[in-house]
Chain A
Amino acid sequence: MKLRPAERALAYVVMVLIAIVGIAPFVVLFLVSTRTRLGVLQVPPPLTFELETFLTNYRQVIFDRFFLEYTINSVVVTGLSTLIALVIGLPAAYAFSRIRFRASDQWASTILSFRFMPPVAVAIPIFLLIRNLGLADSYLGLILPYVAFTLPLVIWILIGFFDEVPREIDDAALVDGCSRLGVLTRVMLPLVRPGMMVAAIFGVIFIWNELLVGVYVISSEDIKTIPVGAAGLISAQRPLDWNIAATVGMVTILPIFIFSLFVQRYILRGVTAGAVK
């Protein structure tokens, strides 16, 4: 659309305003995280940066309040769950994309619909199941349900990417004596690598942020993930030390921020994977 120069200038002003409004909450959170407990109460906050207080707060959150452990737990749980979901989801998505058995679309839709089930409807049974398996307060106790939560979306995203690969490629490989599984692992995997990235990213985002089932299954500090740890910290401690709460916020947001820098373009693909073409 062609804009007149004055309109163009106005548009840039609007864009800068959007950027400021978008970034402001994070700047404020960062400022609060560099204050002392009482320094928080000063409004407007002086735009000074006290390195000493900054270091004290972050040291306290990362080491004394277990956020280093929580982060390690989150990385382990998220990484393994996403990996397992991909390993199980890839063959299923491939099959859905390639075979037209009776009611295959209904099957795919049914699997997909689990993505939208309210987690409160399965949290109690999953907690009981995990406890009976002797897995409460263990990584596996989180990984098993998290794979189930991620699987539908992973399959959904991957079907779209498999659909884009022409069938002739399968046929050629089959003629050359490849088995179906061989076609999938040797021919298809390299071709749908972007799809695997998108699926993995969305799996990671979901699992990294999951709270409800974590709260049911985990009570030991040693296994808590970041959301469960953060939830424990903010609800146990009243009144809240806001400088510490803000530091918790920064410490959890920073990894996500760095992650988002690398995966920006995949996010667009992923969100639109299910959207109308």
Chain B
Amino acid sequence: MVLLLGPAVLYLVAFSVFPLLYSLTISFFDWRVTESRFEFIGLGNYRELVQDQVFWQAATNTALMTTVGVTIQVVLGTLLALFFNLHLRGSWLVRGILVLPMLLTPVVVGVMWRALLNPDWGLVNWGLGQAGLPQPLWLGDPSIALWTLTLVDVWQWMPFVFVVVFARLQALPHEVFEAAQVDGAGRLATIGRITLPLLGPAIAFAAIFRAIDAFRTFDLVFGLTYGGPGRVSTTLSFWAFENGRTFQRYGYASAIAYVMVIVAVVGVTLLFRYVQVRREDAS
């Protein structure tokens, strides 16, 4: 019976565990492909990282994008789930439209929003202009490019929170709500005191799941801002990619990536608190 696990375990050892250990090893080397340099430098890359301003900026960008983005996604996704819980006629179709963004290729999402947000002919700024509102340089203004990136990420991934919370809402027992109504609880009181607490674990699950994914955002940066202007929208993944692929500094890129691995492990540990609950209930 345990043999059934064999292929999966062997496969993951070869193509996941081994690469992870390999990049840990590389992170202790000064490995620059273009200069054919390959030299053991111990913690040298990590020391460089602490001094690297771009690294700290990327870390700050990633942290801001993750926390702000996920917060907005949780609020919007939960509100939408509550709204669609009214089960209006035709709502299945609108739900289908809402879910679409999270299936799209992130690079293409980036290009699509570059078109929509174009300062000269993009429809967003045209609409804002018609309404007499300011027309920001969404992608060109260093003070807002990171928030534009965050908003597009929200657009693409808010549906995930929505779907998780909505599914949980469908599974809640009707009796609880009927009892609340009998007791004369108002609508807002019902939502605040009964629905939201019952949804708590599902919301936490969705939030942590999304946070781990937002933390490693790469494709969307590639398609939307390419890390710029300057470095204002460079994420940790993107900085690791640039060092690895563009500058061919394998050692340094691996050191950045390894800092990310450690953060991801913390995130996953948090996440499993909520998944574990399910496994125990099931068995």
Q: Is the CB of B167 within 8 A of A88?
A: no
Interface string of B206-243 (1 = CB under 8 A from A): 10010011011011001100100000000011001100
- Taking CB atoms and an 8 Å cut-off, the chain B residues in 171-225 that contact chain A are 171, 177, 187, 201-202, 205-206, 209, 212-213, 215-216, 218-219, 222-223
Option from B18, B20, B94, B108 in Cβ contact (under 8 Å) with A15: B94
Option from A12, A107, A216, A246 in Cβ contact (under 8 Å) with B88: A12
B residues in contact with A23, CB < 8 Å: 97
Q: Is the CB of B121 within 8 A of A43?
A: yes
A residues in contact with B272, CB < 8 Å: 109, 112-113
Q: Is the CB of A22 within 8 A of B97?
A: yes
Least CB separation from B265: chain A residue = A113
Option from B12, B202, B265 in Cβ contact (under 8 Å) with A148: B12
| A236 at interface, CB cutoff 8 A | no
A residues in contact with B202, CB < 8 Å: 275-276
A residues in contact with B69, CB < 8 Å: none
CB distance from A246 to the nearest CB of B (A): 6
Least CB separation from B199: chain A residue = A276
Interface string of A138-171 (1 = CB under 8 A from B): 0000001101100110010000100100000000
| Distance between Cα atoms of A275 and B81 in the complex (Å) | 15
| B143 at interface, CB cutoff 8 A | no
| Distance between Cα atoms of A249 and B171 in the complex (Å) | 37
Question: Which range holds the interface residue count of chain B?
Answer: 35 or more
| B131 at interface, CB cutoff 8 A | no
Q: Is the CB of B260 within 8 A of A118?
A: yes
Q: Is the CB of A257 within 8 A of B100?
A: yes
Q: Is the CB of B96 within 8 A of A25?
A: no
Q: Is the CB of B94 within 8 A of A209?
A: no
Interface string of B226-264 (1 = CB under 8 A from A): 100000000011001100110000100110111011001
| B133 at interface, CB cutoff 8 A | no
Q: A121-B23, A147-B11 are in contact. Are A114 and B16 (CB under 8 A)?
A: yes
Q: Is the CB of A40 within 8 A of B121?
A: yes
Option from A12, A22, A40, A211 in Cβ contact (under 8 Å) with B218: A211
- Taking CB atoms and an 8 Å cut-off, the chain B residues in 137-189 that contact chain A are 160, 163-164, 166-168, 171, 177, 187
> In the complex, given contacts A116-B268, A129-B18, what are 15 additional A-B residue pairs having Cβ atoms less than 8 angstroms apart?
A12-B88, A19-B93, A88-B7, A94-B4, A95-B1, A105-B279, A119-B218, A120-B256, A124-B253, A160-B282, A230-B107, A242-B115, A249-B112, A259-B103, A264-B99
Q: Which A-B residue pairs are the 6 nearest by beta carbons? A: A148-B15, A92-B8, A125-B19, A91-B4, A125-B22, A121-B257
Q: Could you list which residues of chain A lie within 8 angstroms of chain B, going by C-beta atoms?
A: 1, 3, 8, 11-12, 14-15, 18-19, 22-23, 25-26, 28-29, 32, 40-45, 88-89, 91-92, 94-96, 98-99, 101, 105, 107, 109, 111-114, 116-126, 128-129, 144-145, 147-148, 151-152, 155, 160, 163, 180-181, 184, 205, 208-209, 211-212, 215-216, 226-227, 230-231, 234-235, 240, 242, 245-246, 248-249, 252-253, 256-257, 259-261, 264, 267-268, 271-272, 274-277
